[in-house]
């Protein structure tokens, strides 16, 4: 019992035990976060600590999970005693499942620094989007002017490389701006019929060097006659961005000598694309897969590829799901409106 009490008191995450919405016990981390001692908090309603609106929303969203005995998490801006606020991730689990649990354990994780870094990254991305466009237009304009002049074969080839590389950078900036607009709810989707077969073939060719180096195979299973189109409704550039990120992730995650399979099928009014590889999504990020910066153990990984892919799928009225296991590998499942 003494050992359990020591763990309870010394853990860095705030712990609050509540019964019938009243606080029974808190640990030292809770006292530090909120600037109140445990005697002041004991007996208070949980909504006094979390804020009435936060707690009402939390209970509305978490009720079913708590009754099933599952945990539920949400992020909220919480008040400290001195009037300042901080961002926290709140996770709750009932002591005993049922419509009237004997009590609920709430874990409160201070993520203020995490949010600050996220805001800094977002601000940096916006500045980069803005500041790169003007000089890039100069580079592309100069390349176009040079192409109109008489050049020898070597010079023309070099100018062509400058032009192609500049356009790739331009496309990256435009994709980043599209994602920013989607995040902010400012993007007005202009969907059209997009045949996914030639789009996926085009994307697959980008990774031929990596596929060769890792001795992989990459196959496109079109479920039937290869001449049959597989149209989805969407914006071509956004769909190319989404599938490019997902296939890139699959190729990088696949073990050497393995295979990546891209399968297409129609289900009623939905076009389903499944991207399979033999790798496994790390267990510590499965619950956060598709969230911004959710990554684990991948050199240079940021988690932005899966995040942007999910953002694009949802913006099209679709979804991005996955299955993963040591036995079956990983399958990413993209559902889009059928064209």
Average pLDDT of 59-87? 89
Residue 220 and residue 283 in one domain: yes
Among candidate residues 292, 279, 293, the one with its CA nearest the CA of residue 322: 279
Q: 212 and 129 in one domain?
A: no
Please report where in the chains the tokens 């189109």 appear, as a residue.
229
Categorize the per-residue pLDDT at 276 as very low, low, confident or very high, splitting at 50, 70 and 90: very high
Same domain flag for 175 and 204: no
What pLDDT sits at residue 128? 66
Residues 17 and 128 in one domain: no
Q: Is the pLDDT of residue 176 over 90?
A: no
- Among candidate residues 55, 88, 110, the one where a domain is terminated: 110
Reported as a pLDDT band with limits 50, 70 and 90, residue 7 is confident
Shared-domain flag, residues 275 and 333: yes
**Does residue 132 surpass a pLDDT of 60?**
yes
Q: Residues 192, 231: contact at Cβ < 8 Å?
A: no
Average of per-residue pLDDT across 326-339: 90
**DSSP assignment string, 39-62:** HHHTTSBHHHHH-HHHHHHHHHHH
Q: What is the pTM of this model?
A: 0.56
Eight-state DSSP code of residue 183? H
Q: How confident is the model at residue 129 (pLDDT cuts 50, 70, 90)?
A: low
Question: What pLDDT shows up at residue 193?
Answer: 93
pLDDT exceeds cutoff 70 at 302: no
* pLDDT greater than 80 at residue 59: yes
Q: What's the total number of domains in the chain?
A: 3
28 lies in the same domain as 13: yes
Q: Based on the domain organization, do 134 and 71 belong to the same domain?
A: no
Pair (89, 125) in one structural domain: no
- Write the CATH number for 299: 3.30.565.10
User: What is the pLDDT at residue 227?
Assistant: 46
- Which DSSP string do the residues of 313-330 spell out, in sequence order? HHHTT-EEEEEEETTTEE
In angstroms, the CA 115 to CA 122 distance is 10
> Across 54-58, 137-141, 219-223, 288-292, which has the greatest mean pLDDT?
54-58
What pLDDT does residue 77 have? Answer: 92
Residue 20, CA distances (Å) to 6, 57, 125, 189, 337 in order:
26, 17, 45, 46, 45
pLDDT surpassing 60 at residue 226: no
Residue where one domain finishes, among candidates 81, 110, 139: 110
What is the domain-level CATH number for residue 48? 3.30.450.20
For position 182, what pLDDT does the model report?
82
Average pLDDT, the chain: 84
Looking at the fold, whether 219 and 90 belong to one and the same domain comes out as: no
Give yes or no: residues 215 and 246 share one domain. yes
Residues 178 and 232 in one domain: no
From 138, 166, 183, give the residue that closes a domain. 183
Which of residues 5 and 30 earns the better pLDDT score? 30
Task: Mark whether 123 and 35 lie in a shared domain.
Answer: no
What are the Cα distances from residue 205, in Å, to 70, 228, 238? 44, 20, 18
Per DSSP, the residues of 80-145 read -TTS-EEEEEEEEEESS-SSS-S-EEEEEEE-HHHHHHHHHHHHHHHHHHHHHHHHHHHHHHHHHH
In terms of residue numbers, what domain contains 23?
2-110
**At residue 223, does pLDDT exceed 60?**
no
Cβ partners under 8 Å of residue 236, min gap 6: 192, 194, 199
3-state secondary structure of 2: helix
């Amino acid at each position: 019992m003494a050992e359990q009490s020591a763990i309870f008191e010394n853990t860095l995450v705030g712990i609050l035990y509540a019964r019938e919405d009243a606080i029974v016990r808190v640990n030292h981390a809770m006292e530090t976060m909120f600037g109140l001692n445990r005697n002041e908090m004991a007996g208070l309603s949980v909504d006094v600590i979390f804020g009435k609106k936060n707690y009402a929303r939390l209970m509305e969203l978490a009720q079913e999970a708590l009754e099933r005995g599952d945990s539920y998490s949400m992020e909220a801006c919480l008040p400290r005693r001195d009037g300042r606020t901080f961002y926290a991730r709140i996770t709750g689990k009932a002591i005993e499942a049922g419509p009237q649990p004997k009590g609920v354990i709430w874990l409160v994780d201070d993520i203020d620094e995490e949010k600050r870094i996220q805001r800094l990254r977002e601000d940096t991305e916006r500045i980069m989007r803005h500041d790169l466009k003007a000089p890039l237009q100069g580079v592309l304009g100069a390349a176009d002017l040079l192409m109109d002049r008489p050049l020898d074969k070597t010079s023309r080839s070099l100018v062509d490389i400058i032009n192609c590389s500049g356009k790739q950078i331009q496309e990256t900036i435009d994709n980043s701006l599209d994602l920013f607009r989607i995040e902010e709810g400012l993007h007005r989707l202009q969907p059209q019929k997009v045949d996914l077969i030639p789009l996926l073939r085009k994307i697959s060719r980008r990774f031929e060097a990596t596929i060769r180096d890792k001795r992989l195979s990459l196959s496109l299973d079109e479920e039937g006659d290869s001449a049959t189109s597989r149209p989805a409704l969407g914006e071509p550039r956004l769909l190319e961005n989404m599938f490019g990120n997902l296939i890139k992730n699959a190729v990088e995650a696949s073990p050497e000598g393995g295979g990546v399979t891209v399968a297409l099928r129609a289900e009623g009014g939905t076009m389903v694309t499944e991207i399979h590889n033999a790798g496994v999504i790390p267990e510590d990020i499965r619950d956060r897969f598709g969230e911004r910066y959710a990554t684990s153990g991948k050199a240079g990984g940021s988690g932005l590829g899966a995040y942007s892919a999910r953002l694009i799928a949802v913006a099209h009225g679709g979804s991005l799901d996955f299955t993963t296991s040591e036995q079956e590998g990983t399958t990413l499942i993209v559902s889009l409106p059928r064209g």
